[in-house]
Amino acid sequence: MWQQLTRALQNGNIRGIARSISLVENEAGGYEQFMKSLPGSTTPVIGITGPPGAGKSTIADGFIELLVKQHKKVAVLCIDPSSPFNAGAILGDRIRMSAWYNHPDVFIRSLATRGALGGLNPKIIEITDILKACPFDTIIVETVGVGQSEIEIAGLADLTVVVLVPEAGDEIQTMKAGLMEVADIFVVNKADRPGADLFVHNLNAMLGPAYSHRKAAIPVIKTIASQHTGIEELVDTVSGLLKTSNDNEKKNLLLAEKAWHLIQHKRMRDINKQQLVTAIKNKLAAGNFNLYQFIDTL
Amino acid sequence: MWQQLTRALQNGNIRGIARSISLVENEAGGYEQFMKSLPGSTTPVIGITGPPGAGKSTIADGFIELLVKQHKKVAVLCIDPSSPFNAGAILGDRIRMSAWYNHPDVFIRSLATRGALGGLNPKIIEITDILKACPFDTIIVETVGVGQSEIEIAGLADLTVVVLVPEAGDEIQTMKAGLMEVADIFVVNKADRPGADLFVHNLNAMLGPAYSHRKAAIPVIKTIASQHTGIEELVDTVSGLLKTSNDNEKKNLLLAEKAWHLIQHKRMRDINKQQLVTAIKNKLAAGNFNLYQFIDTL
CA distances B36 to A235, A272, B77, B253, Å, are: 56, 22, 22, 20
If residue B107 lies in a helix (H) or strand (E), which one and from where to where?
Answer: strand B106-113
pLDDT in tens, A273-283: 889 999 999 99
Residue A247 or residue B233, greater confidence: B233
Residue A181 or residue B90, greater confidence: A181
* Euclidean distance between CA atoms B138 and B74, whole angstroms: 5
If residue A123 lies in a helix (H) or strand (E), which one and from where to where?
Answer: helix A122-132
pLDDT in tens, A191-202: 998 888 988 888
Give the DSSP letter string of A187-224: EE-STTSTTHHHHHHHHHHHHHHHTTTSSSPPPEEE-B
Q: Do residue B175 and residue A150 have CB atoms under 8 angstroms apart?
A: no
Residue B177 or residue A32, greater confidence: A32
CB atoms within 10 A of CB A76: 26
* Euclidean distance between CA atoms B273 and B117, whole angstroms: 10
What are the residues whose beta carbons fall under 8 Å from the beta carbon of B86, sequence distance 6 or more? A174, A177, B52, B144, B146
Among partner residues A32, A210, A268, which is closest to B85 by beta-carbon distance?
A210
Flag the least confident range among A41-45, B80-84, B120-124.
B80-84
CATH assignment, A40-245: 3.40.50.300
A87: exposed, middle or buried (C-beta count within 10 Å: 0-12, 13-18, 19+)?
A: middle
* Euclidean distance between CA atoms A254 and A233, whole angstroms: 26
Interface of B with A in 213-272 (CB under 8 A): 248, 252-253, 255-264, 266-268, 271
Q: Do residue B178 and residue A115 have CB atoms under 8 angstroms apart?
A: yes
Residue B156 or residue A138, greater confidence: A138
Q: Do residue B280 and residue A259 have CB atoms under 8 angstroms apart?
A: yes
* Range A24-39 average pLDDT: 90
The residue of chain A nearest to residue B278, with distances taken between CA atoms, is A252
pLDDT band at A119 (very low <50, low <70, confident <90, very high): low
Helix locations, A211-272, DSSP H:
231-244, 248-268
Contact (CB, 8 A) for A22 and A28: yes
Domain ranges within chain B, ordered by starting residue: 1-39, 40-245, 258-298
The residue of chain B nearest to residue A31, with distances taken between CA atoms, is B292
Share of chain B above pLDDT 90, in %: 40
Residue B82 or residue A271, greater confidence: A271
Chain B residues within an 8 Å CB radius of A35: 291-292
| Per-residue model confidence (pLDDT) at position A116 | 44
Interface of B with A in 143-182 (CB under 8 A): 145-148, 150-151, 167, 170-171, 173-178, 180-181
Give the DSSP letter string of B20-88: HHHHHHTT-TTHHHHHHHPPP----EEEEEESTTS-HHHHHHHHHHHHHHTT--EEEEEEEE--TTTHH
pLDDT in tens, B203-215: 887 776 555 455 5
3-state secondary structure of B104: coil
| Per-residue model confidence (pLDDT) at position B201 | 85
pLDDT band at A122 (very low <50, low <70, confident <90, very high): confident
* Euclidean distance between CA atoms A142 and A147, whole angstroms: 15
Does residue A162 carry a pLDDT above 80? Answer: yes
Longest CA–CA separation in chain B, Å: 68
Share of chain A above pLDDT 70, in %: 79
| Per-residue model confidence (pLDDT) at position A11 | 95
Among candidates A198, A200, A177, A205, which has minimal Cα distance to A188? Answer: A200
Q: Do residue B86 and residue A177 have CB atoms under 8 angstroms apart?
A: yes
Torsion of CA B197, B200, B205, B209, to 10 degrees: 180
| Per-residue model confidence (pLDDT) at position A38 | 93
CA A232 to chain centre: 22
CA distances A291 to A119, B39, B123, B254, Å, are: 23, 10, 14, 11
Among candidates B133, B256, B5, which has minimal Cα distance to A294? Answer: B256
* Range B59-79 average pLDDT: 93
CA distances B255 to B120, B157, B162, Å, are: 13, 10, 21
Among candidates A66, A58, A63, A68, which has minimal Cα distance to A105? Answer: A68
Chain B residues within an 8 Å CB radius of A258: 291
Among candidates B61, B46, B125, which has minimal Cα distance to B94? Answer: B61
Q: B287: distance to nearest CA of chain A, Å?
A: 10
| Per-residue model confidence (pLDDT) at position B4 | 92
CA-only gyration radius of chain A, Å: 21
* Euclidean distance between CA atoms B75 and B236, whole angstroms: 18
Q: Do residue A292 and residue B35 have CB atoms under 8 angstroms apart?
A: yes
The residue of chain A nearest to residue B276, with distances taken between CA atoms, is A256
What are the residues whose beta carbons fall under 8 Å from the beta carbon of A239, sequence distance 6 or more? none
Contact (CB, 8 A) for A252 and A86: no
Q: Do residue B298 and residue A263 have CB atoms under 8 angstroms apart?
A: yes
CB atoms within 10 A of CB B224: 18
| Per-residue model confidence (pLDDT) at position A152 | 64
pLDDT band at B88 (very low <50, low <70, confident <90, very high): very low
Residue B256 or residue A117, greater confidence: B256
| Per-residue model confidence (pLDDT) at position A35 | 95
What are the residues whose beta carbons fall under 8 Å from the beta carbon of A137, sequence distance 6 or more? A43, A67, A72, A73, A74
Interface of B with A in 80-119 (CB under 8 A): 83-86, 115, 117-119
| Per-residue model confidence (pLDDT) at position B198 | 87
pLDDT in tens, A51-105: 777 888 899 999 999 999 999 999 999 886 654 333 333 444 455 567 787 899 9
What are the residues whose beta carbons fall under 8 Å from the beta carbon of B165, sequence distance 6 or more? B51, B53, B54, B55, B188, B189, B190, B193
Residue B257 or residue B140, greater confidence: B140
* Residue A185: strand pairing partners: A161
Q: Do residue B263 and residue A178 have CB atoms under 8 angstroms apart?
A: no
Q: Do residue B170 and residue A171 have CB atoms under 8 angstroms apart?
A: yes
Does residue A246 carry a pLDDT above 60? Answer: yes
Contact (CB, 8 A) for B223 and B234: yes
Q: Do residue B175 and residue A288 have CB atoms under 8 angstroms apart?
A: no
Flag the least confident range among A10-24, B227-241, B277-291.
B277-291
Torsion of CA A110, B291, A157, B152, to 10 degrees: 80
Mean pLDDT of chain B: 82
Question: CB contact, 8 Å: A282 with chain B?
Answer: no
Chain A residues within an 8 Å CB radius of B129: 291-292
Whether pTM > 0.90 for this model: the answer is no
Q: Do residue B256 and residue A277 have CB atoms under 8 angstroms apart?
A: yes
* Range B114-140 average pLDDT: 81
Contact (CB, 8 A) for B199 and B166: yes
Contact (CB, 8 A) for B141 and A142: no
pLDDT in tens, B162-202: 888 887 655 554 444 556 667 889 999 999 988 889 888 87
Sequence letter at residue B148: Q
* Euclidean distance between CA atoms B90 and B79, whole angstroms: 10
pLDDT band at A14 (very low <50, low <70, confident <90, very high): very high
B107: exposed, middle or buried (C-beta count within 10 Å: 0-12, 13-18, 19+)?
A: buried
Residue A11 or residue B152, greater confidence: A11
pLDDT band at B11 (very low <50, low <70, confident <90, very high): very high
Q: Do residue A262 and residue B295 have CB atoms under 8 angstroms apart?
A: yes
Does residue B69 carry a pLDDT above 90? Answer: yes
Q: Do residue B291 and residue A129 have CB atoms under 8 angstroms apart?
A: yes
Sequence letter at residue B154: A
